[in-house]
Amino acid sequence: MLKEFKEFALKGNIMDLAIGVIIGGAFQSIVNSLVNDIIMPLINIFTGKVDFSDLMFTIGNSSIKYGTFISAVINFLIVAFSLFIVIRYINRLNRKIEEAKKQETLSKLAIKRKIINKKSEDVEEVFEEPSTKLCPYCLSEIPYHATRCGHCTSKLKEEK
């Protein structure tokens, strides 16, 4: 059982999560400082030096500190916006990587076709097998080598 726990704890995903939590905690203190030391004083200039942390109302013996809640909402919005920017950037990089892989694959296919054409100089046209065909029963497009239609489940005749 101890061995299994060690394997679980030392897996890459768990370690990545732990590092993310630590960095998140450090990032939270930066955001708190940004809100409390920069943004709130700027807001206070425009609102007549109202300190949000002091805003509260009392019901009986309980005090409702809605000013602290406002600060927490601003903290959340800053963190959420920061994460949005980072994830947006990562998604752009992933799209560029996928496009580069697709272009590389297409260029490799083009090179293979040129080699095939050079080897068969006496043949004018290189035959390429189609990738799809129509089901004769429901007329849906299906893979060329399919033996049964995925739409109407009809059994197809073998083509020779």
Model confidence over 92-114: pLDDT tens digits? 988 888 888 887 777 777 666 66
Indicate the pTM of the whole model.
0.46
Q: What is the pLDDT of residue 159?
A: 60
Instruction: Provide the pLDDT for residue 115.
Output: 62
Tens digits of residue pLDDT in 25-80: 888 888 878 877 887 777 777 777 666 777 888 888 888 888 888 878 887 888 78
Report the b/e string of 22-55 with b at 16+ CB within 10 A. Answer: eeeeeeeeebeeebeeebbeebeeeeeeeebeee
> Residue 51's pLDDT is what?
65
What is the pLDDT of the chain when averaged over all its residues? Answer: 78
Domains of the chain: residue spans and CATH: 2-119 (1.10.1200), 129-160 (no CATH)
